[in-house]
A and B are shown apart, each in its own frame.
Chain A
Amino acid sequence: MAQYAVLIYAADAAHGENASPEELEMHGRHARELEDAGCMTAAFALESIATATSIRGDAVTDGPFLEGKEVVAGFYIIEAPDLDEALRVAGRNPVTRYGGGVEVRPVAGSFVREPVTR
């Protein structure tokens, strides 16, 4: 098994201000499918692009690192035996049918620690 990161590209994060309950539900349903299938090992949904801040060199700017029609709305990690299977799983993400898309990248290494709650 190998790990692949699936980066979700959309006009804005699903959790952005303009997201409808239907859209949130659609993405939630897909996330539950992946959980049930047992192939997803981690997932992160990001807040709206309006909340992003970027740093290049010493310069801190408001907004995404790369200006474009689509931004990274979130990402998750799946396990798959090969790229074909990873593409099959990632291709089921509803964003691919609603004007956005996904990028699939092999994971070279990872580290996750449970966040400290205060």
Chain B
Amino acid sequence: MSDLSPAAVAAAVADAHRRGWAIVLASTVRVARDLDLAEECVQEAYASALATWPRDGIPASPLGWLTTAARRRAIDAHRREQVLRSKLSLLVEPEEHPAHEVEDPAGVWVGQAADHVSDERLRLVFLCCHPALAQEAQLALTLRLVCGVPTADIARSLLVSETTMSARLTRAKKKISTARIPFRMPTHAELPDRLRGALGVIHLLFTMGHTAPSGASLVRTDLVEQAVHLARMLRGLMPDEREVCGLLALLLVTDARRSTRVDDQGRLVPLAEQDRSRWDRKAVAEAHAFIVAGLRAGPPGRYLLQAAIASLYAEAATFEETDWPQIVRLYDQLLSVWPSPVVALNRAVAVAQVSGPAQALAEVEGLEATGALESYQYLHAIKADLLARQGRREEAAAAYRRALELTRNDAERAFLAERAGQGT
């Protein structure tokens, strides 16, 4: 196993980064008791893997090797008392199952303490998504600490400068340390709220990637893939939480259409015109299984219902064959568990297919009158479409122009501009 090609080692390290960053960091946090120190030690461990694996071979358990290396660095740093100077000490709850001494070079650690490791990753997720942190900080921390995305890349994904992102992360870590946000599992009573928060962060991450709030491209693949990765990880850690399965299903079934949402020129393709033969059937089927199991197990929550709706769109052979009445019924159910004007707006789109655009327009105008969605571009875009379908071209063009004013994504802007032009 010696003298491996640098490319083979780089691939193995990249794979260990993708699969294992959260595991390695979460278990290093425990001994480092300091988020910055833990990050530094984990980064150094990955760097030293790149340096030593070509010579020594790829260890049988790469994650065990990396964890041991990172934890050892953290222990050394404490011995050298470097950490005393740090201002970011973290409140770590005592271990419920004391870890084995991590002197073994490889393999032993991950194998022996798999359950315990799961726990540590969950603690990390709940730490990053703590409600005492602003949601933009939760998002950034989750990408940095749970997914291991470098600060510069997070800045690029979330469209802020690297300085801004770096300051945001530092502020969040300072708050965790100073206010003593603990590195522990939420109690049974806290869990529903805290889980909702974590799922909200993952969903927001996905949404921002699925339709980028601004910029040239419609989709930000990096954010979408991190969101799916996180949802998958959470589902592996909490397989009995139906909303976790619901969220994963929602992301899978929505992302299944990714390659058909824009054409070769990056132009937006409406759902009715997308090439359904290119949808990812495997992802749709995987989501379907989660949805069926979830719906059987009891009254569904928000994400399971959203997944069920998205799945009905994805499973129809043609746009016309979509089961619209069932979609409207699911939206009614969704509104009862999650009364949001955005849900009511999306429901109106399905109502247009069942009861015609006039009825749907009346509902959209009712929503518009409440003022809650005044700056929501899709209200105006949907209203424009419903007006156009009734031949009310001038009003449609005006609504398209209003949507255009509120839209910052170039692909969506081009689509809306073209529609606005057709009306005049």
Contacts and interface: CB of A to CB of B under 8 A. Distances in A.
Interface of A: 2, 81-84, 86-87, 104, 106
A82 B179 CA distance: 7
The list of the 10 closest CB pairs from A to B, nearest first, reads A82-B182, A82-B180, A83-B179, A83-B181, A106-B179, A83-B180, A2-B180, A106-B178, A82-B91, A83-B132
Contacts of B178: 106
A84 B190 contact: yes
A81 B181 CA distance: 10
Interface residues of B, number: 11
Nearest to A2: B180
A28 to B, nearest CB: 27
A101 to B, nearest CB: 14
Contacts of B91: 81-82
Contacts of A86: 180
Contacts, number: 25
B contact face: mostly helix, strand, loop, or mixed: loop
Contacts of A84: 181-182, 186, 190
Contacts of B130: 83
B42 to A, nearest CB: 24
B229 to A, nearest CB: 27
A83 B178 CA distance: 9
Nearest to B186: A84
Contacts of A83: 130, 132, 179-182
A75 to B, nearest CB: 16
A110 to B, nearest CB: 15
B132 A106 contact: no
Contacts of A87: 132
Contacts of B181: 82-84
Contacts of B180: 2, 81-83, 86, 106
Contacts of A106: 178-180
15 contacts: A2-B180, A81-B91, A82-B91, A82-B181, A82-B182, A82-B184, A83-B130, A83-B179, A83-B181, A83-B182, A84-B181, A84-B186, A86-B180, A87-B132, A106-B178
B29 to A, nearest CB: 15
A20 to B, nearest CB: 33
Contacts of B132: 83, 87
Nearest to B181: A83
